[in-house]
Amino acid sequence: MAYIFEEPSHTFDEYLLVPGYTGPDCIPANVTLQTPVVRYNKKAGEKCPLTMNIPMTSAVMQAVSDDKLAVALAKEGGISFIFGSQTIENQAAMVARVKAYKAGFVSSDTNIRPEQTLGELVEAIEKTGHSTVAVTEDGTANGKLVGIITERDFRIGHCEMSEKVSAYMTPLSSLVMGKEGITLDEANDLIWEKKVNQLPVVDKDGKLLYLVFRKDAASHEEHPLELLDSQKRYIVGAGINTRDYMDRVPALLEAGVDVMTLDSSEGFTEWQRRALQDIHSKWPNAKIGAGNVVDADGFNFLAEAGADFVKIGIGGGSICITREQKGIGRGQATATIEVAKARDAYYEKTGIYIPICSDGGIVYDHHVTLALAMGADFVMLGRYFARFDESPTNKLIVNGNYVKEYWGEGSNRARNWQRYDLGGKKGMAFEEGVDSYVPYAGSLHDNVTLTTSKIIHAMCNCGVTNIPDLQKNAKITLVSAASLREGGAHDVIVKNTVKAN
């Protein structure tokens, strides 16, 4: 007879945290959200080789994780997994761009030649939205620098638009410049000392390398949790599949990727075991997560196969219709709880700690705290990040509201059938994801700051100052449908609706 789980499976919405004793040292300033990302021999006293400063990763999805979002999230202390449903070259180029990005050093993307007109300049500024323009001999981002022109140097309506840029720019002779190799701190000092708003950095031939802006020079002070590798480059992840990994993995490693994950709606498969084995034997230092699974059997299988972390979740994603289409899945909270128990048992038996990631189905910020309390080491979010300025999609107006587009990797739009066909032939006839809009929500920084602040405050209510203690000591209660209603504003006429996130 089939194995039947007699208990219904639950979602995060059906649980709440019950406070624990909050001692005098249990204050937000003392809370750390640092968390392990990959397996390590904890019992032997090893240190985890890759940790994050906040327990949040962005989903392996076209509508979510490109290089821009990856930089924004690494600044906050988390990791993006750049989507794999694209050519190996494109994906590796995105990883390389993240690794090349130097905090505070900006490659100029609005450039002009001195003999071009103010009209052309205004056009360029409108296109990029950047008001400081490098004037180079050949009009390229790395051409020989001849001046800088900003919107403040000429007055629209008072200047002839046919006049030349060279008549209005600050010429080279009056510019304060930095030499190749200058550090951000030195650039920052120069900007303050010379009272300038930007500092072009040039090589020995006078060719433009970067611009450092006054506002960005302080960037690393504003981002104390930024996640950097040993060479001070941002940490970045990437999604891979079970087909082309022998080509994709070396390209990503070459581009500098720090961690990868097999990206599949269902990971309890021979394909994933083989991929993990092949990759680890060819590139022993490559860090590879695997999944997704929803029970102890799935976790143990991937743990034995060598997964560096295991992702949990089938059918819980906001754009996911796998449960409707195939009847496969499990409530995300139940899946997380069971896999966490299996992870702890595996640790007891082997001394190896394998981090687990609760992937999909996070709707409210407190769901992140619940997932951690249930044993997850970090979460993966799609819808959440898709709403921000930094996600790869356009901001649109629909019915008078700003929205961004968000589509599943199993939707026709993503045309990523490989991911869903268990390693078999291409072209399944049904979709497992939808194409949708999500409400636009502003900048990643503002939202992540708010979310982590809620997690930190909830942890203080639980009487803990770090994630391992939350996992050990949290008290969690199931709630009834009636008490859910009690949890929101009720039986009053609300004046201004406060929307929970």
With respect to ligand RVP, which residue has the nearer C-beta, 59 or 135? 59
Q: Is 26 among the residues known to form the active site?
A: no
**Catalytic residue of the set 26, 39, 273, 320:** 320
Count of CB atoms situated within 10 Å of the CB of 119: 14
State the minimum distance, in angstroms, from the CB of residue 358 to ligand RVP.
Answer: 10
Q: Which is nearer to ligand RVP, 289 or 317 (CB)?
A: 317
Residue 211 three-state SS: strand
- Find out whether 317 is annotated in a ligand binding site: yes
Least separation in angstroms between CB 318 and ligand RVP: 4
CA distances from 126 to 235, 320, 404 (A): 32, 38, 22
CB contact at 8 A, 42 and 347: yes
Contact indicator for 291, 357 with CB cutoff of 8 Å: yes
Has 313 been labeled as part of a binding site? yes
Q: Point out the catalytic residue in the list 39, 97, 383, 419.
A: 419
Residue 312's nearest CA partner among 334, 288, 336, 331 is 336
- Crossing angle for the helix pair 296-305 and 270-282, to the nearest 10 degrees: 30
Query: In the bound complex, what is the minimum distance in angstroms from residue 61's beta carbon to ligand RVP?
Result: 5
Q: Residue 459 carries which side chain, given as an amino acid letter?
A: M
Instruction: Say if residue 139 carries a ligand binding annotation.
Output: no
The answer to whether 155 is a known catalytic residue is: no
Nearer to ligand RVP, 405 or 432 (CB): 432
Confirm whether residue 356 is marked as ligand binding: no
Residues in contact with ligand RVP by CB under 6 A are 59, 61, 313, 317-320, 322, 359-362, 380-384, 408-411, 432-433
Question: 206 — alpha (psi -120 to 50), left (phi > 0) or beta?
Answer: left
Please give the C-alpha separations between residue 233 and each of 25, 103, 150, 228, 252, in angstroms, as whole numbers. 34, 8, 30, 5, 15
Q: Which is nearer to ligand RVP, 240 or 380 (CB)?
A: 380
Considering beta carbons, is residue 62 or 198 the nearer one to ligand RVP?
A: 62
- Longest Cα separation, the chain: 85
Q: How far is the CB of 263 from ligand RVP (least distance, A)?
A: 8
Q: Which residue's Cβ has the minimum distance to ligand RVP?
A: 433
Distance CA 336, CA 342 (A): 10
Q: Which two tokens stand for residue 154?
A: 């000429």
Residue with tokens 């611009």: 211
Q: Is there a binding annotation on residue 314?
A: yes
> Has 264 been labeled as part of a binding site?
yes
Q: How far is the CB of 304 from ligand RVP (least distance, A)?
A: 22
Binding site membership: which residues?
Answer: 263-265, 313-315, 317, 320
Going by the annotation, the residues of the binding site for NAD(+) are 263-265, 313-315
Residues carrying an active site annotation:
320, 419
Residues belonging to the binding site for K(+) are: 315, 317, 320
